[in-house]
């Protein structure tokens, strides 16, 4: 999406839960990029998306079951419907790193380099999210928020380099 000629990445969503799901999805997709051994970029993208979809379904299922346990009765249909129509940010924020993986591979990067490019993109997204989260903090706290968020991505990059 473009806003006034700039690439627009939605780091903040309608709810705090949506924003958290997006950040969580980037971290999970990075972990899959580090550990999966796919021969092609598109197969790796499929592995990541399927993994994120399983995480989404498991989280939604857990919320419906928890509702039943804590409320002592079957959740109303509107509660189930809400659970099935929310939380997709776990997948959507990971689209950019997955596109970077495909593009890097498409322009001739080796698979390892394409994965590294995707992991760097994920790290930048996490840093941006950390910066955005710290918007109302003291400048030093905002920097700390950015560093902590980016550390998740940096650890994934280090793992990828160390494991392969």
What per-residue confidence (pLDDT) applies to 8?
Answer: 45
What per-residue confidence (pLDDT) applies to 35?
Answer: 94
User: The whole model's pTM is what?
Assistant: 0.84
- The DSSP secondary-structure symbol of 51 reads H
DSSP bridge partners of 6: 3
In total, how many domains does the chain have?
1
What residues make up the domain containing 135? 14-163
Residue 75 lies in a domain: yes
What per-residue confidence (pLDDT) applies to 4?
Answer: 47
Residue 109 lies in a domain: yes
Residue 111 lies in a domain: yes
Q: If the chain, 164 residues long, is cut into consecutive pieces of 10 residues, what is the mean pLDDT of each piece?
A: 45 71 94 94 97 95 90 86 89 95 97 96 94 89 94 94 84
Largest Cα span, the chain? 57
Residue 74 lies in a domain: yes
Residue 135 lies in a domain: yes
What per-residue confidence (pLDDT) applies to 1?
Answer: 40
Residue 92 lies in a domain: yes
What per-residue confidence (pLDDT) applies to 10?
Answer: 52
Residue 134 lies in a domain: yes
Residue 42 lies in a domain: yes
């Amino acid at each position: 999406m473009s806003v006034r000629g700039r690439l627009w990445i939605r780091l903040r969503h309608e709810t705090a839960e949506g924003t958290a799901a997006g950040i969580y999805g980037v971290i999970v997709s990075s972990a899959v990029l580090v550990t999966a051994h796919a021969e092609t970029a598109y197969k790796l993208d499929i592995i990541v998306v399927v993994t994120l979809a399983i995480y989404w379904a498991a989280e939604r299922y857990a919320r419906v079951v928890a509702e039943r346990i804590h409320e002592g009765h079957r959740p109303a249909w509107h509660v189930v419907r809400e659970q099935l129509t929310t939380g997709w940010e776990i997948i959507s924020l990971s689209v950019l790193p997955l596109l970077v993986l495909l593009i890097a591979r498409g322009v001739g990067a080796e698979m390892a380099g394409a994965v590294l490019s995707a992991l760097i993109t994920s790290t930048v997204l996490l840093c941006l999210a950390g910066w955005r989260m710290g918007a109302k903090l003291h400048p030093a706290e905002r920097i700390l928020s950015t560093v902590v968020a980016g550390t998740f991505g940096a650890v994934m990059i280090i793992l990828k380099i160390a494991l392969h």
